[in-house]
Chains A and B, each alone.
Chain A
Amino acid sequence: QVQLQESGPGLVKPSGTLSLTCAVSGGSISSSNWWSWIRQPPGKGLEWIGEIYHSGSTNYNPSLKSRVTISVDKSKNQFSLKLSSVTAADTAVYYCARKGAIAAAEDFYHYWGQGTLVTVSS
């Protein structure tokens, strides 16, 4: 059973960079799946941030693309998110998640982390 666990600072100052890591257990990050970041502002809906494949290929939400970097560390079986120039609007619960099998075109999320709240405030 694949498990995902987010970690990182819960408080980031405005104009700073938000950095989170998602540790993967029970499976390999080198499997044939895309690994994603999704966020949810308090009381609001889900927003897809972007995804990465173990090869390093990435796809980003166009609305966030200029500020987002997602990277993978195969040696640690984890992937990371960096979001720069943050404002209060970036305050949200951040989830990491795994898409289904690429070969089967399974573009849904069966596995999710528990989520971590990141607040942007001075």
Chain B
Amino acid sequence: QSVLTQPPSVSGAPGQRVTISCTGSSSNIGAGYDVHWYQQLPGTAPKLLIYGNSNRPSGVPDRFSGSKSGTSASLAITGLQAEDEADYYCQSYDSSLSEVFGTGTKVTVL
């Protein structure tokens, strides 16, 4: 079982803003370790979306943004588009378990 908890699903209409939370503890996010986010389209490998809490790799639209505070992190998608429908995972380091991924969140565009 993952030590990073995400909501199973979030949904929104095209153009809306949605946020995905990633809740950890004092042994991972709260210990100061960075949080990274991945987007996984059906049948494909995860793709890096946000690294170092809030940085976007080249080519990732600025509709995607990340933040971190305390023992949690968040991914926001503004101006939701149909192609954003995917699974999203957070990742961090845990002092007892090494690398850990979140439970995953399915984003549905209504």
Contacts and interface: CB of A to CB of B under 8 A. Distances in A.
Contacts, number: 61
Given A48-B101, A106-B51, A107-B34, A114 B45 contact: yes
Nearest to A115: B45
B34 to A, nearest CB: 7
Contact residues on B (Cβ < 8 Å of other chain), bracket: 20 to 34
B93 interface: yes
Nearest to A104: B52
Given A107-B34, A108-B36, A95 B45 contact: yes
A108 B100 CA distance: 11
A80 B72 CA distance: 34
A63 B2 CA distance: 11
Q: Lowest 6 A-B CB distances belong to which pairs?
A: A108-B36, A112-B45, A46-B101, A48-B99, A45-B104, A108-B51
